[in-house]
Amino acid sequence: MTDSHSTSNPKQKQVVARERFQHRALGSTHDQLKKARVLLVGAGGIGCELLKNLVKSGFKEIVIIDLDTIDLSNLNRQFLFRHEHIKKPKALVAKEVARKFDPRATIVAHHANIKDEQFNVEWFAAFTIVFNALDNLDARRHVNRMCLAADVPLIESGTTGYNGNVQVIKRGKTACYDCKEKQVPKSFAICTIRSTPSQPIHTIVWAKSYLLPELFGVSEAAAMNLDTSESANNAEEIEKLEKETAQLRELREAMGSDDFVRKVFDQAYKKDVERLLSMEDYWKNKKAPIPLDYETIASGSENIDPLVAKLDQDVWTLQQTFTVFKDSLLRLSKRLAEERAAALRENQLEPVIEFDKDDEDTLDFVTAAANLRSAAFNIDPKSKFDTKQMAGNIIPAIATTNAMVASLCILQAYKVIKGDLGRTKELFLSKANMTGDSSDLPNPNCMVCSRVMMRTKIDLEKATVGDLVDILKLELDYTGDITITTESSQMTVFDYLDDDDDDEDSLAKRRDTKLVEVGVGNGTSLIVLDGGDDEPRVDLQLFVEDMNAEREQALVVKFVFNDGEKPEIPRKPAKKPTEMNGTTTLDGEAQSAATGSKRKRGQDDEVEESAPAKKLQTSANGATQEDDIIVIDDEGAIVLD
Ligand SMILES: Nc1ncnc2c1ncn2[C@@H]1O[C@H](COP(=O)(O)OP(=O)(O)OP(=O)(O)O)[C@@H](O)[C@H]1O
Ligand SMILES: [Zn+2]
């Protein structure tokens, strides 16, 4: 008989030895983490590191989810992936590779979006702890809300270049992801992009967010993140821009014809520039742009091989740029025509081509189109490589930063697993140092976590608006002066002010309307606002689940109380001005450096890296005698917190 201690399998031996050390270091926390059920959202830069750390630190039950497939550009830092994995789902490959670190760990992988309906509050509630390893605000906010609703602790993390941060989020105990205002990505004034570019980034944004969508995607209004606040002063200019946009859109009709390239070129680099030249006042103190002439440029580019586009580190000559412009325009036109034909056959929506930094056709087009505009406006051209960084809003990801952040996540997780939330920290990593602050308390004015959240089972076949209002009154003691809206689309489900309606018939009709008819479905989140007296209650958020099999004859709406107890819905705090700190939303959101220095709060907040090393003391049963988390390796022990 083989027991785990006498195994001859070298891998197994390694795991057993590792676990013995872990037990000595962590004591009962080790037992707890072996029983924990962990969700890891994202299998990218931080996610791969975290999964490896989770398995190697003894977590036995892990669910990992990622919607993406592996790309060549991931391989330099996502070390669970190899060349042969390209195009395979990240979550599935990560699972297969990480299992080898501990064959006894159970890893379940989902190649899916965490926002999918199936991952509802009930599903989240089954986890002991959740880790976010995401790259976008939207998904982070979603997981934040789901964890608050399910009352599951969340370890949030992010990196940008050398900067990184880790935040522990637990409902009612610490600040949530939305407690602090997030900086929005930098936007550009519409007139700078469309009329008066002066830097390479302006022509790159023009090519990526204006010309490309106008020709191949959804129109400007939807695609561009432009600041139109100057519009009031520039009504005439805006009108001209709109006219030009309409002309460009007409060009789409010419797609596929022999003179398509010439038409686009003339519109974008001749007529448009001539229009801008007519703003004489503007060019009085600046070098005026020069319209480009198709014949002149084309005649010098006949012998250039379109493969010049592969030279991504070089700044192309004007003729090379023209060649890539023409070639990529034709490639994109052909692609769109094929996609349209396929969509028509399969009765699908009209396809569009959107910019993707990893899509060579769109990147070639944006690089060339931007550089032609730069040529007209006396702006320095950029290489394809530089354009990729700028258009993709890329700050290079650094494997070491990801690795450090992932290990800090684990150290915070130990405290959470121990139930030691008071000692969790928000950590900030930068090139110079690492700083740590005790986790912030929840912001009482936070729009997200100040809400009371509740799962709500609804018989969607039967339940009406009136049923929902009645149960809110009956079970949660609302007066009825409430407004209910859907969170995502902000559609009104019920408004007590309409209840004052004199028309009895219309009132009755509204209350008898089925909830499904007013946009409520499985997974909908509803916000209940108390419009009552002077001291309204905080907002209530209901996460709707279809009652399905549990349908009971009489009950069509049923609240699921956490801990089985009816929650108290407190009154809103009296309004007073709040001070919002800047924030460190990292990763794809390209935020400012994560110094965290402004957040220091006294003695407790010592920098983690400066914590004095203490001697490892173990008791008879092998557990440490202190509260500190101690990491040991063959060299000895280090006290980390
Ligand atoms: N809604 C979501 N559901 C599931 N996974 C998501 C969701 N949003 C983002 N992700 C995943 O989170 C991971 C974030 O990892 P990372 O920041 O390293 O990005 P990446 O896409 O791998 O790299 P890069 O953007 O630099 O090419 C990605 O693998 C991405 O697919
Ligand atoms: Zn909050």
Please name the residue whose Cα sits nearest to atom 24 of ligand 1.
74
Atom index in ligand 1 nearest the CA of residue 65 equals: 4
Taking residues 112-125, what's their average pLDDT? 94
Domain ranges of the chain: 10-183+398-444+585-610, 188-391, 452-564
**Structure tokens belonging to residue 195:** 């009329």
Q: Which fold has domain 10-183+398-444+585-610?
A: Rossmann fold (3.40.50)
Q: Say how far apart CA 27 and CA 29 lie, in whole Å.
A: 5
CB burial of residue 561 (10 Å; 0-12, 13-18, 19+): exposed
Atom index in ligand 1 nearest the CA of residue 45 equals: 18
Q: Judge whether 147 counts as a catalytic residue.
A: no
Distance 19 CA to ligand 1 centre (A): 31
Distance 442 CA to ligand 2 centre (A): 6
Question: pLDDT tens across 401-410, in order?
Answer: 999 999 999 9
Q: Say how far apart CA 176 and CA 190 lie, in whole Å.
A: 34
- The DSSP secondary structure of 212-256, one letter per residue, reads HHHHHSS-HHHH--EE-TTGGGGHHHHHHHHHHHHHHHHHGGGTT
| pLDDT given at position 180 | 92
Q: Say how far apart CA 330 and CA 312 lie, in whole Å.
A: 20
Q: Do domains 10-183+398-444+585-610 and 452-564 have the same CATH topology?
A: no
| Banded model confidence at residue 628, pLDDT cuts 50, 70, 90 | very low
Ligand nearest to C-alpha 446: 2
Distance 628 CA to ligand 2 centre (A): 28
Question: pLDDT tens across 343-387, in order?
Answer: 888 888 888 999 998 899 999 999 999 999 999 999 999 999 999
Atom index in ligand 1 nearest the CA of residue 139 equals: 1
Question: pLDDT tens across 464-515, in order?
Answer: 999 999 999 999 988 878 899 998 878 889 988 776 666 666 666 778 999 9
Question: pLDDT tens across 228-240, in order?
Answer: 444 444 566 666 6
CA 65-109-82 angle, to 5 degrees, is 90
Contact in structure between 66 and 94 (CB atoms under 8 Å):
yes
User: 48, 147, 191, 409: which is the annotated catalytic residue?
Assistant: 191
Does the model's ipTM exceed the 0.95 cut? Answer: yes
| Banded model confidence at residue 283, pLDDT cuts 50, 70, 90 | confident
The one-character DSSP state at 423 is: G
CB neighbourhood size of 109 (10 A): 23
| pLDDT given at position 621 | 39
**Structure tokens belonging to residue 539:** 């907002």
Please name the residue whose Cα sits nearest to atom 26 of ligand 1.
397
Residue 471's nearest CA partner among 527, 555, 392 is 555
Ligand nearest to C-alpha 397: 1
CATH number of 452-564: 3.10.290.20
Residue 165's nearest CA partner among 354, 408, 357 is 408
Half-sphere exposure of residue 147, counting CA atoms within 13 Å on the CB side? 33
| pLDDT given at position 231 | 44
Query: Is 531 annotated for ligand binding?
Result: no
Beta-ladder partners of 239: none
- For the cut 90, the answer to whether the pLDDT of residue 121 exceeds it is yes
| Banded model confidence at residue 258, pLDDT cuts 50, 70, 90 | confident
Question: pLDDT tens across 520-557, in order?
Answer: 999 999 999 998 767 888 999 999 999 876 666 678 99
Taking residues 169-185, what's their average pLDDT? 88
| pLDDT given at position 67 | 95
| Banded model confidence at residue 257, pLDDT cuts 50, 70, 90 | confident
| pLDDT given at position 502 | 63
Atom index in ligand 1 nearest the CA of residue 587 equals: 17
Atom index in ligand 1 nearest the CA of residue 113 equals: 3
Query: Is 66 annotated for ligand binding?
Result: yes
Distance 169 CA to ligand 2 centre (A): 9
pTM reported for the whole predicted model: 0.68
Helix or strand (DSSP H, E) at 327: helix 318-345
| pLDDT given at position 614 | 31
Pocket of ligand 1 (CB under 6 A): 42-45, 47, 65-68, 73-74, 90, 113-115, 134-136, 139, 397, 587
Query: Is 386 annotated for ligand binding?
Result: no
Q: Say how far apart CA 580 and CA 585 lie, in whole Å.
A: 14
| pLDDT given at position 237 | 63
Distance 429 CA to ligand 2 centre (A): 22
- For the cut 80, the answer to whether the pLDDT of residue 434 exceeds it is yes
From 66, 69, 73, give the residue whose CB has the most ligand 1 atoms within 8 Å, as the site to mutate: 66
Q: Kindly report the CATH class assigned to 188-391.
A: mainly alpha
Query: Is 45 annotated for ligand binding?
Result: yes
Q: Say how far apart CA 324 and CA 389 lie, in whole Å.
A: 19
- For the cut 80, the answer to whether the pLDDT of residue 64 exceeds it is yes
Ligand nearest to C-alpha 167: 2
The one-character DSSP state at 571 is: B
Query: Is 158 annotated for ligand binding?
Result: no
Distance 541 CA to ligand 2 centre (A): 13
